[in-house]
Structure 1
Amino acid sequence: MTTSTDPRVPGNSRPTLSVVIPMYQELDNVEPMVARVHEGLADYGGDWELICIDDGSRDGTGERLHELAERTGSHVRVIRLRRNFGQTAAMQAGFDAARGELIATLDGDLQNDPADIPRLVDELLERDLDLLQGWRRQRQDGLILRKIPSRIANRLIGKVTGLALHDYGCSLKVYRAEVIKEVTLLGEMHRFIPVWMAGVTSPARIGETEVSHQARQFGVSKYGISRTFRVLLDLLSAFFFLRFGSRPGHFFGSIGIVFGVVGALLMSHLLVVKFVLDENIGHRPMLFVSILFLVTAVQFLTTGVLAELLIRTFYASGERTHHRIRWQSDSATAGWKGRA
């Protein structure tokens, strides 16, 4: 018998939920974070699990998570990566391990409020979305180092990608598992998850809603002003992969054709000058420019062919991740919180 998950129907339980939290050097936040997740989901009304990913911490975060999971119950699962692979890889590890119909993510620094998750779940279902993005409208961060660069980046991302959201950087999100698991996260892609999601679902099924935000109480922020420059580089990568990820030959080939046409026109003009007007072209700068354009065209065209071969090899290989897990809870014995 299938249970409806429509939150508008009284008595219906919510879908199974996996809460994924990547953590790096957050020893002091481990216990309060796990406690607040349990408080926030105490009245969730459905089965849920908590998946904490230790991204190669060296301050004892992984050990503390493991100890806490042993005391709390089998619904708290811990994944420990062999080294610090980055937040994107940690989130991918969590998505791979998640068993819920929905997946919620948030940072492990206690700035996101887990109590917002049930409301986001209801809103995602009610609006029939595949992704509901949190919007930290009242953001409790520094103006110069965090707020202003973030606002600039959000507007720039919206202009370039055509997906206008107020707060791409908010980690508090709720996804339909079947959709987010179609996205393979690599590099620093966690900043652009809504953009990558738009590649596998309609942008109309991606929404946002206001969420609460609190100042960091423990630990040290991992972000700085250098993040702004990385965002710009990641934005270029996101634009390329969204438009030409499955057909890179079109990108490089188009540039090669432009250079080739210009170079051919210049060379045709020089041939007319040489053989019709009988003038010397050996020392003309146009000759060297046309040769340069033709050689560049050949390079771009061959690069496009090689890129097509590589992308086909990549998809054929089935390789999904670049992180390596050191240890994780056994999903076969993992339980759900809230199961009767």
Structure 2
Amino acid sequence: MLAQTNLPQVAHGAPYLSVVVPIYNEEESIPHLYTRLQEALDELAKPYEVLAIDDGSRDQSFHLLRELAQQDGRWRVVRFRRNFGQTAGFAAGFARARGEWVVTIDADLQNDPRDIRMLLAKAEEGFDVVSGWRAKRQDPFLNRRLPSQLANGLISWATGVRLHDYGCSLKVYRAAVVKQIELYGELHRFIPAIASWQGVEVAELPVNHEARKYGTSKYGIGRTTRVVLDLITVRFLLSYSTRPMQVFGAVGLLFSGLGGALLAYLAYIRLFMGSPLADRPLLLLAVLLVVLGVQLLGMGLLGELVTRVYYEGRQRPIYVVREELNIE
């Protein structure tokens, strides 16, 4: 149970800062999270709200969050019907955030809430995204830090947005930036890269990182595969999301051109040189290239149609809400 305190029961006016916290089975961390967030945010002397997204927790996390919402009107709680993942949690928080700035932070307290002041001050200098960098990360090397270092290098190379630590959840965003981004899969870690098409200004600052004291980690090395696959998606979205024919069509034309040239060569030696073609592997290769080329051109056309539907249609959320507390 959480101690009763004299706290505001309702939020007055639009807050300056919205803090989004996805939560999944963190009953041990929640009381400490509340205390440390309150201390750090009260020091800012700016109106704020905390959007706690219960991602289908199976422990007492939601019951603790309900108590917090009853005690403190600045805490707004969204409860999912099941576990939809961290990306869905961020998406739900972004959609409901009312602040000019949006802060994301993990519930496990490995991120230090006191670093919010530093990141926000940097953002107020004119940056749209300020990302935390766990320079002295307190996690095992082989199964956490090493894969993360490799992934960060690969993501920076592929997207052109160079950050030391894409996986750090402690970030500050201008609200107008994140509200324009559709999230799914594991794309929450790529937000700075996805937002780059808006021409955003991105900064990165070293932040504190603490060893986990409460609960158990929900992430393992198995997530690396999903991250790599989502990176391919992000790379495509950054370059060709509105013009898929240019990538599929270009490869399709290349294959069709090579296949057509080979078929013309084979037709010449058959018609004018009388050479048999039945035992030539080159004939199969030529036919295969033409077929692949036509298929890729078709995929490009379908991609154009899907793109049109995506931008003209209404998107469904990637989560299902069970109940909400203090949500106006």
- TM-score of the superposition, structure 2-length normalised? 0.93
Tell me the percent identity: 44
Give 2:151's aligned residue. 153
Aligned mates of 2:100, 2:282 — CA distance in 1: 63
Paired with 2:317 and 2:197, the residues of 1 have a C-alpha distance of 18
SS in 1 for 2:317: coil
Would the aligned equivalents of 2:36 and 2:113 in 1 still touch at CA under 8 Å?
yes
Residues 184 and 321 of structure 1 are in contact (CA less than 8 Å); yes or no, is this contact kept in structure 2?
Answer: no
* RMSD after superposition: 1.2
1:137 matched residue in structure 2: 135
In the other structure, the counterpart of 1:80 is 79
Write out per-residue CA displacement over residues 98-142 of structure 1, whole angstroms, 9 at most, x where no aligned residue. Answer: 00000000000011111111221111112x110000011111111
Render the CA deviation track for 1:56-98: whole Å, top value 9, x for unaligned: 1111211211122212x21110000111111001100000010
Q: Name the residue aligned to 2:7.
A: none
Bigger Cα displacement from structure 2, 261-270 vs 315-324 = 315-324
Does the 8 Å contact 1:185/1:321 carry over to 2? no
Q: Which residue of 2 aligns with 1:188?
A: 186
Residue 262 (structure 2) pairs with residue 266 (structure 1)? yes
Q: In structure 1, the residue corresponding to 2:93 is in which secondary structure?
A: helix
1:176 aligned partner: 174
Q: Deviations over 1:278-334 (max 9, x none)?
A: 2222332111111111111111110111111112112111205211111112433xx
Q: Among 246, 249, 252, which residue is 2:245 paired with?
A: 249
The answer on whether the counterparts of 2:69 and 2:325 sit within 8 Å (CA) in structure 1 is no
Which portions of structure 1, spanning 4 or more consecutive aligned residues, are displaced by more than 4 angstroms?
none
Say if 1:21 and 1:107, in contact at 8 Å, map to a contact too.
yes
Partner of 2:40: 40
Q: Secondary structure at the match of 2:323?
A: strand
- Give the secondary structure class of the aligned counterpart of 1:170: coil
SS in 2 for 1:79: strand
User: Does the 8 Å contact 1:259/1:296 carry over to 2?
Assistant: yes
Mapped partners of 1:326, 1:277: distance in 2: 75
Q: Shift of residue 199 of structure 1?
A: 2.2
AA aligned to 2:129 is: L
Partner Cα distance (1:45, 1:65) in 2? 24
CA distance in 1, matches of 2:256, 2:143: 45
User: Partners in 1 of 2:97 and 2:253 — Cα distance?
Assistant: 46
Q: Is the 8 A contact 1:31 1:68 kept in 2?
A: no
User: Retained in 2: the 8 A contact 1:281–1:287?
Assistant: yes
**Residue in 2 aligned with 1:229?**
225
Give the Cα separation in 2 of the matches to 1:214 and 1:254: 49
1:215 matched to which residue of 2?
Answer: 211
Matches within 5 A, 1:8-47: 16-47=16-47
SS in 1 for 2:42: coil
Check the 8 A contact 2:69/2:326 in 1, yes or no. no
Aligned residues: 314
What is the rounded CA distance, in whole Å, between the counterparts of 2:304 and 2:196 in structure 1? 22
Paired residues of 2:29 and 2:108 also in contact (CA < 8 A): yes
Could you tell which deviates more after superposition, 208-217 or 58-67? 58-67
CA contact (8 A) 1:183 1:200 kept: no
Report the residue type matching 2:67 in the other structure. E
Answer whether contact 2:77 2:326 (CA < 8 A) is retained.
no
- Correspondence for 1:90: 89
Shift of 1:234: 1.7
Letter in 1 for 2:193: V
Provide, for residues 127-169 of structure 1, a one-character-per-residue CA deviation record: whole Å limited to 9, x for no partner: x110000011111111111111111111111111111111100
- The aligned runs of 1:250-329 (5 Å cut-off) are 250-319=246-315, 321-329=317-325
Distance 1:54 1:218, change over 3 A: same
* In structure 1, C-alpha distance between the alignment counterparts of 2:25 and 2:254, rounded to whole Å: 50
In 2, Cα distance between the equivalents of 1:318 and 1:242?
A: 21
* Residues 244-253 or 44-53, more deviating: 244-253
Which has the higher mean CA deviation after the structures are superposed, 274-283 or 251-260?
274-283
Superimposed CA distance per residue, residues 188-225 of structure 1 (whole angstroms, 9 cap, x where no aligned partner)? 101211111112224xx011001111111011101111
Q: 1:119: which partner in 2?
A: 118
1:134–1:172 contact (8 Å) kept in structure 2: yes
Q: Is the 8 A contact 1:179 1:201 kept in 2?
A: no
Secondary structure class of the residue paired with 2:239: helix
Q: Does 1:49 align with 2:49?
A: yes
Q: Decide whether the 8 Å contact of 2:252 with 2:293 is kept in 1.
A: yes
Aligned-pair CA distance for 1:236 = 1.4
Q: Which residue of 1 aligns with 2:98?
A: 99
